[in-house]
Structure 1
Amino acid sequence: MENLSKRQISPTQSILFSCAAFVIVVAGMRAAQDVLIPFLLAIFIATICNPLVLFLQKKRVPMGVSIFFVFLLMIAFGFGITSLLGTSLKEFSNNFPQYQILLKRYAEDFVSFLENRGVSISGQILLEQFDPGAVMSLTSGILARLGNVLTNTLLIILMVVFMLLEANIYKDKIMKIFGGADERIEQITTFTYTVKRYMLIKTALSLATGILATVWLLILDVNYPFLWGFLTFLLNYIPTIGSNIAAIPPVLMALIQYDLFFMFLVALGYLVINNVIGSFLEPRIMGHGMGISPLIVFVSLIFWGWVFGPIGMILCVPMTTIIKIAFANTEKTQWISTLLESPVRSTFRKEL
């Protein structure tokens, strides 16, 4: 019995056990996504709202009144979005089959145009691999999925309220957990600040992107401008590809509604907006972001999108950062944290 207790697990067994545990945890998260997604959204919203609560408290507004004010803002925002997008979403859903038919016809005409000019191409393969109607189907699916999540609005808002109530004593709880471990407390404080800063900046830039896109679509009189602007706002949270994906539905809508010239104008507008905000302003305001390698950001985008759908893609960077911090605090897993780090992490730390 004593020999069994002293028996150590071999490195191979440790790797196998770790892989098995990883598979079980991921499968569990996928199975429980109906519960976890509202919880993750509540954390996301609470992170954005907490600075407003702190600001009001600094102005000597009682905490209860501050949180109640934020609660009213969330309710007003929800009603505003519902009233603004409800009609557009319903009309888009009703006209969606017709849009698919028109896009398929445009694609077939494009294939015929190429064949008439001597370009040898399999039209069937091209339509299967690059079906423009599939993009609109994806858009409809994302909006439907987000609509399903928003059916838990009351639950999410209640969780946000309780999280805001607990936020002020969060630091005291951390100090009690780690006692005098100043290094751990500093790591968690830095991590909390970094996530909060990332969320606030990303929200402000996404809001600016969505507003500018909406204004541009209103100028060009493209159908459903507020719907596409809201979609742009949401998808801009998705790193690397989100803002580009958001441009595709309104570009195709301009083609359906008008012609190639208006399609080009919409695409040009999105190109300018995405480059000014995404490529110029964001790197200068955000700095080095969350200290995660760009490759890891892209991989985490795919992974969390597979686990939690569109919400996972939106929150992929903060969730990956949490995992990186957790691995960094354990000696045996520090090498994993190092793999996740950005090459400029040390510079980013100095900036903090």
Structure 2
Amino acid sequence: MGENYEIPPFLRQIVIIVVIILVFIGMKYIAPILGPVLISIFISILIYPFLMWLKKKGFSYNVSILITLALTFVLGLGLLAIMVMSISQLVASASTITIAPNSFLATYANQIIKFLFSNIPLENIAGIIEIGFFLIFAVMFLIYELPYVKSRLVKGLGAESPALKHTFDLVADFIEYFVIRIKVNFLAAVGFVGIFWVFDINFAILWGILTFVLGFIPYIGIIIAAIPPILVAWVQYGIWGALAITILFVVVNTIAESYVFPKLTGKGLQMSVYVVFVSLFIWGWIMGLAGMFLAVPLTLVVIKYLENFDETRWLALLMTTDEEDESKKEQ
């Protein structure tokens, strides 16, 4: 009789949800280590299609991997050098970044500037360099290992494994979406840097990198990225300069998000807007800025995990939208 006993569905639901909560708690505990590791995995998965593209162009695997690793190292080192030099200059000129207190708005703006400099560890250049080099080499090693990891999974689980198929499908959707996100963020960042250059805004390249990176954080990322250059424009040109930069920021971002992005992608990740917004704060609480940066892919993993069980599939459906299905019906 005991051999035929099955756990009731409601208990299975509770067990699955408890497992997810325990994983969240564990991630919170090891967040300082887990954040950079997950970011390195994220970047590696995005770079991997370039390696495959080189192979399709006729290069041997060895040549393709050498080109990919060399470009990754050079690009990563270049970005790190630009960030370190820009941040060093920003820290050196921190005392001069202040707005003449000729209005109550200027008073609030100075408080924001003071808050940013006091809460963001800009002076920790050594820490930035340490994390930067970790990411560069972790990404390079993982890119080298990814083809072997894939073959090991196929060998261990079997080519027809449903779990493996779901994983590969998830990674494929993930890559498709975020490669498009990279293109849109890059075009927007170039547009912003051009605006900053025309207005002679200090630290233009740093703000461009910031808008590119924070563009991966839905909804609030671009708002956070806009604050520093707007404040710098206020310092240099007064309230009207800040207003002009704000308007141009809105225009460029609207073009990127409302025109370019829909043109490049025929579908999104079908995630509820509310779920995406809430996930930013949940993952941000767990892993800080790294969690906000990875909120969308990590939430997508949770949704796919819930879809694997009959008892929790309804939760996965609540977290997604049916926009794609309705668009098909209209056609």
Question: Equivalents in 2 of 1:192, 1:3: separation in Å?
Answer: 40
* CA RMSD across the alignment: 3.4
Per the alignment, in what secondary structure is the counterpart of residue 317 of structure 1?
A: helix
- How far is 1:4 from its partner? 12
Q: 1:190 aligns with which of 164, 169, 177?
A: 169
Normalising to structure 2: TM-score of the pair? 0.85
Question: Equivalents in 2 of 1:234, 1:32: separation in Å?
Answer: 23
After superposition, what is the alpha-carbon deviation per residue over 1:221-248, rounded to whole angstroms, capped at 9, x for unaligned? Answer: 0111111111111111111121122112
The equivalent residue for 1:120 is none
Contact 1:107/1:132 (<8 A) preserved: no
With over 3 angstroms needed to count, the CA separation of the structure-2 counterparts of 1:83 and 1:13, relative to structure 1, is closer
Higher relative contact order (CA 8 A, sep 6+): 2
Q: 1:258 aligns with which of 213, 237, 241?
A: 237
Correspondences of 1:225-236 after superposition (within 5 Å): 225-236=204-215
Correspondences of 1:43-192 after superposition (within 5 Å): 43-99=41-97, 102=99, 105=101, 108=104, 131-133=111-113, 136-137=116-117, 141=120, 148=127, 151-169=130-148, 172-176=151-155, 178-179=157-158, 181=160, 184-192=163-171
Question: Equivalents in 1 of 2:103, 2:11: separation in Å?
Answer: 53
Question: Equivalents in 2 of 1:94, 1:242: separation in Å?
Answer: 26
- How far is 1:8 from its partner? 5.3
The equivalent residue for 2:250 is 271
With over 3 angstroms needed to count, the CA separation of the structure-2 counterparts of 1:179 and 1:40, relative to structure 1, is same
Correspondences of 1:202-351 after superposition (within 5 Å): 202-346=181-325
Question: Equivalents in 2 of 1:179, 1:349: separation in Å?
Answer: 34
- How far is 1:316 from its partner? 1.0
Paired positions, count = 329
The equivalent residue for 1:117 is none
1:96 partner amino acid: A
Unaligned regions of 5+ residues in structure 1, if any?
112-126
Question: Equivalents in 1 of 2:163, 2:80: separation in Å?
Answer: 43
Per the alignment, in what secondary structure is the counterpart of residue 317 of structure 2?
A: helix
The equivalent residue for 2:25 is 27
Unaligned regions of 5+ residues in structure 2, if any?
none
1:102 partner amino acid: I
- How far is 1:154 from its partner? 4.0
Question: Equivalents in 2 of 1:176, 1:133: separation in Å?
Answer: 55
Per the alignment, in what secondary structure is the counterpart of residue 268 of structure 2?
A: coil
Normalising to structure 1: TM-score of the pair? 0.80
Task: Tell me which structure has the larger Cα radius of gyration.
Answer: 1
After superposition, what is the alpha-carbon deviation per residue over 1:167-193, rounded to whole angstroms, capped at 9, x for unaligned? Answer: 335554454455475755543333221
Per the alignment, in what secondary structure is the counterpart of residue 332 of structure 1?
A: coil
With over 3 angstroms needed to count, the CA separation of the structure-2 counterparts of 1:211 and 1:144, relative to structure 1, is farther
Question: Equivalents in 2 of 1:14, 1:330: separation in Å?
Answer: 9
- How far is 1:79 from its partner? 2.7
With over 3 angstroms needed to count, the CA separation of the structure-2 counterparts of 1:346 and 1:208, relative to structure 1, is same
Contact 1:287/1:348 (<8 A) preserved: no
Contact 1:198/1:290 (<8 A) preserved: yes
- How far is 1:66 from its partner? 1.5
* Fraction of identical pairs, as percent: 25
Per the alignment, in what secondary structure is the counterpart of residue 99 of structure 2?
A: helix
